[in-house]
Amino acid sequence: MISLLNNVSSLRLAIIAETKLLLRGVNSGASDKQLLTIVQRIREKEHQLLEQEGAVLDPGMWRILHSRLKKRNLEFVDLNS
């Protein structure tokens, strides 16, 4: 287990933490502005991950996040695409 964590970059851990924060926010009634801010931070970290490690989040993860936001009638428009 410890060796598995050693193989995970701090950037990936930060993305996971932000994703957890977003999902908790959706479930706990965070404001739309707060949720969009978190999504933007996830996108920025994903961009850094792409530059540093050549990896991005799985498209399935983005589908889940978008689905949760849609349930709140909130759309995230990615201005980077």
pLDDT tens digit sequence for 25-77: 998 989 989 999 999 999 999 999 999 889 898 999 989 988 888 888 776 65
pLDDT at 35: 93
What's the CA gap between 25 and 10, in Å, rounded?
22
What's the CA gap between 14 and 28, in Å, rounded?
21
DSSP run (H or E) holding 25: helix 10-28
- Report residue 14 CA to chain centroid gap: 9
> Which of residues 23 and 3 earns the better pLDDT score?
23
**pTM, two decimal places:** 0.80
Name the residue ranges covered by the structural domains of the chain.
2-71
Per-residue pLDDT tens digits for 5-35: 556 689 999 999 999 999 999 989 899 899 9
